Copies of this chain bind each other. A is one copy, B any other.
């Protein structure tokens, strides 16, 4: 065990109260005294015991982030931005992979929210917020991010892509594509549903009747898009729409069998993918901003548990080329 506050106080020749106040800036201290304390802290290489501090104040300076798929660069980007945001206020981020499983989400929530973290950010795999309520202590700080649950009544940071998708599909239609194949994500997610709706609307607004043969979804059992992509091509698509970066990346092997024969629009979930998608049209999602906003919001929620619930909406943008 390292030095404690009493050691610092002794070395600086002051009381522990003064040391505490110097560290926390919680009351005025004469500059000269404060300097002496700071010197003692450095000399002893003192760091406050976080358990003692938590016990006293009731806050752990730790945020939990429940991620459905930690290996998806989309979420990796979000992890980084959340971490950066809350670090500004001295908070740490605890990331837990829920593997797109509602049950894992529930059990993780149960163990995190009873003493490990001060609040949680959730990119949830469940459909309805009621599935989580038994595992969240009453009034526990929660921010949902990316995916919107049914019956949501907590803070939410969401990206709206309707317009960007509509524009992109319209763009393809105007270039003469009549068979636009789509591969979307897991069908029960709000993001997937919204993306499908926008596509559907754009197609029907242009007088085409949507065709089941052109639309595919990933599923938990089968997350490999390659065979789906092959089916779409066999069904005669001349343009392809990918609902997320990873799906597009995994499908590159198929696309490159027939280079230049397809026009592609893909979601760009993370700037890091841009290189890979040269020559494709992209719908750029503000992933980093979403993370930062979620980080900011969870800290606000912790500070003001009774403030009114907020829904923060960001927007995707379509870039041709």
Q: Which A residues are closer than 8 A to B by beta carbons?
A: 1-2, 47-52, 54-55, 58, 60, 62, 70-73, 76-77, 79-80, 83, 92-97, 99, 111-112, 114-116, 137, 224, 226, 249-250, 252-257, 259, 270, 272, 275-276
Whether A76 contacts B70 by the Cβ 8 Å rule is yes
B97 A94 Cβ-Cβ under 8 A = no
A76 to B98, CA, bound (A): 12
Contact across chains for A47 and B259 when beta carbons are under 8 A apart: no
List, in ascending order, chain B residues with CB within 8 A of A1's CB.
Answer: 58
User: Which of B72, B224, B253 meets A256, CB within 8 Å?
Assistant: B253
A226 touches B275 (CB 8 A): yes
Nearest residue, chain B, Cβ from A259: B257
Number of copies: 2
Bound together, the chains give a CA A97 to CA B67 distance in angstroms of 14
Inter-chain contacts of A275 with B (CB < 8 A): 224, 226
Pick the contact of A94: B55, B92, B270, B272 (CB < 8 A).
B92
Q: A206 to chain B: closest CB distance in Å?
A: 31
Q: How far is the CB of A93 from chain B (nearest CB, A)?
A: 8
Say yes or no: B276 contacts A50, CB within 8 Å.
Answer: no
CB-defined A-B contacts under 8 Å, sample of 13: A49-B55, A50-B115, A51-B115, A52-B55, A54-B54, A62-B116, A70-B70, A70-B76, A70-B95, A224-B275, A249-B249, A253-B253, A257-B259
Tell me, in angstroms, the Cα distance from A58 to B2 when the chains sit together: 12
Shortest Cβ gap from A255 to chain B (Å): 8
* Minimum distance in angstroms from A257 CB to a CB of chain B: 6
* Contact residues in B for A96 (Cβ distance below 8 Å): 83, 93
Closest Cβ–Cβ distance, residue A136 to chain B (whole Å): 13
A51, B47: Cβ atoms closer than 8 Å: no
Complex CA gap A54/B116 in Å reads 11
Q: Which residues of B contact A226 (CB under 8 A)?
A: 275-276
Q: CA separation between A76 and B80, bound complex, in Å?
A: 15
In the complex the two chains form, is B115's CB within 8 Å of A49's CB?
yes
Separation of A275 and B222 alpha carbons in the complex (Å): 11
User: Would you call B51 and A114 a contact (CB within 8 A)?
Assistant: no
What residues on B are CB-neighbors of A116 within 8 Å?
A: 50, 62, 92
Q: Complex Cα distance A97/B81, Å?
A: 11
A139 to chain B minimum Cβ distance, whole angstroms, is 11
Q: Which of B71, B77, B94, B250 contacts A276 (CB 8 A)?
A: B250
The CA-CA distance from A216 to B210 in the complex, in Å, is: 47
Residues in B neighbouring A259, C-beta threshold 8 A: 257
- 16 additional A-B residue pairs with CB within 8 Å, beyond A51-B52, A249-B249: A47-B114, A50-B116, A55-B55, A71-B77, A71-B270, A71-B272, A76-B97, A92-B112, A92-B116, A94-B94, A95-B95, A224-B275, A224-B276, A226-B276, A250-B276, A253-B256
